[in-house]
Structure 1
Amino acid sequence: MDESNTLKQLRTSLQPYSLLYVEDNAGLNAQATALFKKLFESVYSAYNGEEGLKLFEQHRPAIVITDITMPKMDGLTMAEAILKIDSEVKVIITTAHDDQEFLHKAIRIGIFDFLTKPLRIDILTETLTRCSASLREILHHKIFNSNLHAIFNYQNSLVLLLQGEKVVMANQPCLEFFNSESMEALRTRFDEFGKLLLEHNGFLYDHDRFHWFNELTQNPGKLFNVKIAGKDDTHHHFILRYQSIPEKEGYGVLSLNDVSELGLLKLYDASSVERERLAKDEKMVRGLLDMAMRNGAKIRVHNLYKGLSITNDGLIEKIDEKEVTLKTPYVQLKAIQHEEVFYLTSELFPMAIFCSNIQRLDFDVQSVHFNQYHLVQTSPTRRSAIRIVPDESLTITFLYEGRKFETDLSIMDISMNAVRLLFSTLPSGLAVKQSVVLDIVIKLGQRPVIINTEAEVFRIHHEKNRYEVVCMFELHGTTQKNLIDYIAKRQMVLIREFKGIQYEK
């Protein structure tokens, strides 16, 4: 067996789990079982579904790999019985035939994956790696949910589950604070909590004298002051408390209570607060732009055309206190003309620069003139999922407490796990974290397809006489594939549409 780093890491990740392997071919069974014993601590092998089901009931392995066609009981019948006993088991089907009927049934009963014989080591390795990651995610959810009750005042706190220094779970207020739609999006931004802690006199953060995590673990029960930047780039003052989980070595829970309203940051470190004020100063941003101009630095210009990312190079041509002149290709100017704002990124900039108040666009010399700009932590380049503005064929019926809303709303954009809706009047009683039902009608080819899903209200934003409501949902199987197909086709339409407006005057 190849002792590469990938296989060594896989073996380490699979150590906590046992495997049931079911295959009626005696030679293949013996060969594969010997291979699996190099990856798993415990491997149980059977030669038919009936024998496999008995072994599962006796040993309860976390992963099952099984053939389909076998005597006494076929693999799919066995798999269905196993998943009724424990829906969290990861079942992998192996077969020498590409039978659509078997594939459809496998999807319906919740099979984790479907592999074609003869098995290839690289594909098997990738599948088992995803298996291990999925099982760890389930474990993290269980640990997180079972220990929330032990956290003081967690309802009003940001709560994170740590494995060592890494963030593995977070509660909804925490996701909202960091403007993340999911745990995956949050982990894309950061995985180690210590990276969030900002320098502030008397506060907990990494520096030469001690490491933040060592300080936590060596002082159980102690409360710490910490400073963290939120989604609006404002620095918040939190009281941090860490609690280890005795029955799960290496795991601990952080709770963070926001006390920014008390205005204590200046008392601890007035110079740091002043530095924060300067960081938001337009003069400082202008200095960054001037430095980029003088050094001929490469700048990237970003826009979103109905969710479609438009990005090109840019060059600062002129800058003074009145306005900035930026040269960028014609296609980017058309995107700026449509959106009326844009973002700039560069290796020289500590974060993205948001530019607005467009004075004029000069298509002949390919330049844009603007005079408002400031640093932001969010930009089109940091989106965790593709969000597109749908066409008129996509409609949504919003159901809340038995009431339907379909005419009093419009759809701003949609992704694989969220939709942003605009209401002129907010449904009475609707609030963040409440459950709703969405009937999403999309058009694939000539046929309408209905996606019915439960969702949770993630964010409500009120501006003037309208309410922006973001709803999160989770799709699987056919419904997920249908939405993927729609988003992919819509992207192609938007690409063609944007190419068309490039030539409009």
Structure 2
Amino acid sequence: MVDPNALKQLRIALQPYTLLYVEDNVGLNNQATILFQKIFETVYSAYDGEEGLALFKEHHPAIVITDIIMPKMDGLEMAEAILHIDPDVKLIVTTAHDDHDLLHRAIRVGVFEYLAKPMHIENLVETLTRCAIILKEELHRKIFNANLHSIFNYQNSLTLLLQDQKVVMANQPTLDFFDVQSVEKLRDKFVSFGEMLLSHNTFLYNHDECDWFSEISKNPGKLFNVKIEGNDDVHHHFILRFQSIPDKAGYGVLSLNDVSELGLLKLYDASAVEQERLAKDEKIVRGLLDMAMRSGAKIRAHNLYKGLSITNDALITGVANAEVILQTPYVQLKAMQYEEVFYLTSELFPTAIFCEGIKRFDFEAQRVHFSHYKMVKTSPTRRAAIRVIPDDNLTITFLYEGRKFETDVDILDISINAVRLSFPSLPAGLALKQFVVLDIVIKSVQRPVIINTEAEVYRIQENQRHYEVVCSYELHAQAQKNLIDYIAKRQMVLIREFKGLQL
């Protein structure tokens, strides 16, 4: 005799679930259905396996109780089809036949319980009670996994499951960061997660003295700085943490929090950040050069041979990551060979492009191959006045606050309104917009010409081994004519000198 209170508790436990009962004996089916309706809110009944399978497909009950030996489709065939549709269904088979083959077949199919006919109410209640407990546990597990999946996919940090060094799972932010649709695509992009880690001073990455995976495996929970390039071609700064999974050798969870907005990369490795900036700039310029090549845009190449402007038309004939190929007349190539740098201008370019890293010249084909380029604000075409590199016939004495600088001053170039000087060390106290006195001496056959003028410090630039100081001035009358004469004569000398280089 079953305790009425136990039946009441069972009914409460099974309230969310429906039952499908399949029995070909009409009388037994009717009697059992009346009993089941006292336990379940909803009961569906069928008289053979085909009808039972059809009702399951329509209503998807959580529990199925079925006879085995039935017409059209037996209970185990039906059970196998149902479990193929929903492996979580609890299938209970009943039979009056004490057949070991049927029992073994039922086990292989994966039924929940095997009850002998006639069914005893105590056995039925015990079996359904276990069903209720397991169904509740499975519901809790599904809720937990669904929420865990939500947390896994919608947290801001990148989260990955690793087996050894390979990514086997990744959350949605990770897939978005690398612009891939699936973990398989991510693995196609990177065989090992370690390939994603870029070199940066003091950061974690693979190199001769460090195996990244060994390092994180030995230090679970430790925070590491890492640098990774995203699908936006930007280098991101992450804080990485690794936690191994107990009892699962080789498995571990990586979490990475993006802290790029703090701008700390430069503090750790300023030179690496600068190299990355230059590489990014080169990529932009390479795109401009490629566009110029494809569109056939008009380009001009510029050089300054000791201040003498050499300019000719040019044509870009090849653009690749390794080098750019430029075609220009022989005279321009000789100027490039002398200076080892040159400028390119075009209506297509927002500014002039400064080119260096010359790899080789092909004078017969009138081509130069170069590998480095960047946009610059200055341009040889924007000079207000002609500048030349002087010869030994022009010297300058620099006077500042009563101190005279003569032997320690080199003249880099001079124009009608400015001079660029080089100092091994900057005169103490010298600053922008201060005034100095210049004595410019031009030697001639008859007698030296001296130009004495006040000048303003226009620009100070610190280089690796010296300081460059640009001083601007305004000359009048004979002083202006004397300097113009010198610059014009110096230009003629440089023209003859450059022509000699072309032979």
- What TM-score, normalized to structure 2? 0.44
- What TM-score, normalized to structure 1? 0.43
